[in-house]
Chain A
Amino acid sequence: MTGPLLAALARLLSGASVRWIDCQPDTCQRVYFANHTSHLDAIVLWSALPSALRAITRPVAAKDYWEKGAVRRYMARTFNALLIDRTDIKVHQSPVDMMLREIGHDQSLIVFPEGSRATGSDIGEFKSGLYYLSKKRPDLELVPVHIDNLNRVLPRGEFLPVPLLSLLSFGPPMWLEAGEPKNDFLNRAREAVRRLKDL
């Protein structure tokens, strides 16, 4: 019930304007992958989606951060976060398997393949999760998203936001090509996010 309210608040605070470049909002199963610059990324990206998509889209977030304190727990529940325990990764319970099990055949995901937030302005190397995700479910549409300026709204280690204006760009969907090597794919995905910055 408070979902629309939280989304509106996030949009207001981040002053986010949203561009869809060669891509349209769609309810098909997707993985939105974006550069990671701020704790607000997941909420702001989720809030930028139309409400029909918000209902079926789950941001993947770190359990240790989002389970700290009642407010964060409440927020994580409201935006339907899929919390992953970074400290407790087992062989039979890999995060990728867990994500796939959770989304079934109708939900979409929001992931940040850099893992932790980049400190500089450049986008860090992508972790391999995105690759294994597509390998197991090649039918998922991979949508690159570039988040601009949000790191200035709430930088690492800060708890009070400064209400600057940010910009979210959704790019054209991509897929894992048959037989594409892992590193090639991850570099291609990273490039797809980076090129949105200059469009």
Chain B
Amino acid sequence: MLDVKTLSLVGGVLALLAGATTIGQRLKLQPDIGLNPALVESFNLRIRAWWLMCTVLAAAFLLGSVATVVLFGLISFWALREFITLTPTRLGDHRTLFWVFFLFTPLQYVLVGLGAGQYGLFSVLIPVYAFLFIPARVALAGDYKRFLERTAKIQAGLMVCVYCLSYAPALLSLNIKNYEGQNPRLLFFFVLVVQLNDVLQFAWGKLLGEHLVAPAISPNRTWEGFFGGIASATLIGAGLWWATPFEPWQAAGMSLVISVMGFAGGMTMSAIKRDRGVKDYGTLVVGHGGVLDRIDSICFAAPVFYHLTRYFFTQH
């Protein structure tokens, strides 16, 4: 697994992170160059989260695909905690939530861990079976107040935090032509493009941003950031084609789709946060960075990337 391609990919990311850390610390030590200190602080926080993410991802990759699936399962579990914590539920939802946390979440990841052979089941477990179970169990509890709203919220949390995210580790068991045993690199490529797109949209937005996409939802996301970020993430993604099973133009197309979906994920989760009146999913939870804030774009991009790869690059 640790071949030249993987090593250069990992080495490149480490060099990038080291560079970013150096710049961040320099900026922090020079408060008088006219940069907003809050911006520098937010930049440094992002970098710290990236280091953490890379360390954990690297550890999981080295330990193999089971460890990676377990890792993503734990991230899902934590993200769902944050989601449901911020969603008003009623006493009657308690037992439903218990099954959501301790049955559906682990089961989804067990099925993903069992491999692409379980695709028929893990791709419908939550959209179909959890969808049927949740309202039935809530109804059984006998509380009809805001019934549809409550069941929809639980279902939405489960879809975003568990179902969508589980498509990322599911990439590991795809049977791609002429790419056997190299799937971890595909997952790495995917996460890298999503995160680069996030940070590039932020950077472009800060540099050139003028026209806000939806001011009521996010004061940071601008059309300039959107196009700049997507264009540069697509170019970088295309340049990384050698790490993937794709041709350069295919890698560019995939990166484009990943970037657009990442943007959609960020916007959607911002809208939910605005509705709940918080800035970060971590706000209620002092000291925790807010896992959901870090993975919103991955959640939205993962199913689309998985299905495109599965449809066009595997025998099924």
- Residue ranges of A at the interface with B (Cβ–Cβ < 8 Å): 15, 17, 19, 149, 152, 155, 158, 160-165, 167
Binding site of B, secondary structure by majority: helix, strand, loop or mixed?
Answer: helix
B78 shortest CB reach to chain A, Å? 9
Asked if residues B285 and A152 are in contact (CB atoms below 8 Å), the reply is: no
**Of A15, A17, A152, A160, which one neighbours B89 at CB under 8 angstroms?**
A152
Residues of A within 8 A of B284 (CB): 149, 165, 167
Q: Measured between alpha carbons, how far is A193 from B19 in the docked complex, in Å? A: 47
26 interchain pairs, CB-CB under 8 A: A15-B81, A15-B85, A15-B285, A17-B285, A17-B286, A17-B287, A17-B288, A149-B85, A149-B284, A152-B89, A152-B94, A155-B91, A155-B94, A158-B94, A160-B98, A162-B94, A162-B97, A162-B98, A162-B101, A163-B81, A163-B101, A164-B84, A164-B85, A165-B284, A167-B284, A167-B285
Cβ proximity bits B80-120 to A, threshold 8 Å, 1 near / 0 not? 01101100010100110110010000000000000000000
Asked if residues B285 and A165 are in contact (CB atoms below 8 Å), the reply is: yes
B40 shortest CB reach to chain A, Å? 25
Q: Measured between alpha carbons, how far is A149 from B95 in the docked complex, in Å? A: 16
Q: Measured between alpha carbons, how far is A68 from B187 in the docked complex, in Å? A: 51
Q: Please name 10 further chain A to chain B contacts, defined as beta carbons within 8 Å, in addition to the given A155-B91, A163-B101, sorted by A numbering.
A: A15-B85, A152-B85, A158-B95, A160-B95, A164-B81, A165-B81, A165-B82, A165-B288, A167-B285, A167-B286
**Top 3 closest A-B pairs, CB basis?**
A162-B97, A165-B85, A164-B85
**Chain B interface category by residue count:** 10 to 19
Q: Measured between alpha carbons, how far is A149 from B84 in the docked complex, in Å? A: 11
Q: Measured between alpha carbons, how far is A19 from B283 in the docked complex, in Å? A: 13
Residues of B within 8 A of A149 (CB): 85, 284
B176 shortest CB reach to chain A, Å? 36
Residues of B within 8 A of A163 (CB): 77, 81, 101
A19 shortest CB reach to chain B, Å? 6
B46 shortest CB reach to chain A, Å? 21
Q: Measured between alpha carbons, how far is A80 from B114 in the docked complex, in Å? A: 45
Asked if residues A19 and B286 are in contact (CB atoms below 8 Å), the reply is: yes
A140 shortest CB reach to chain B, Å? 28
Restricting to B47-103, which residues have a CB under 8 Å from any CB of A? 77, 81-82, 84-85, 89, 91, 94-95, 97-98, 101
Residues of B within 8 A of A152 (CB): 85, 89, 94
Q: Measured between alpha carbons, how far is A19 from B95 in the docked complex, in Å? A: 29
Residues of B within 8 A of A158 (CB): 94-95
Q: Nearest CB to that of A166 among chain B residues?
A: B85
Q: Measured between alpha carbons, how far is A149 from B286 in the docked complex, in Å? A: 14
Q: Measured between alpha carbons, how far is A155 from B208 in the docked complex, in Å? A: 50
B142 shortest CB reach to chain A, Å? 13
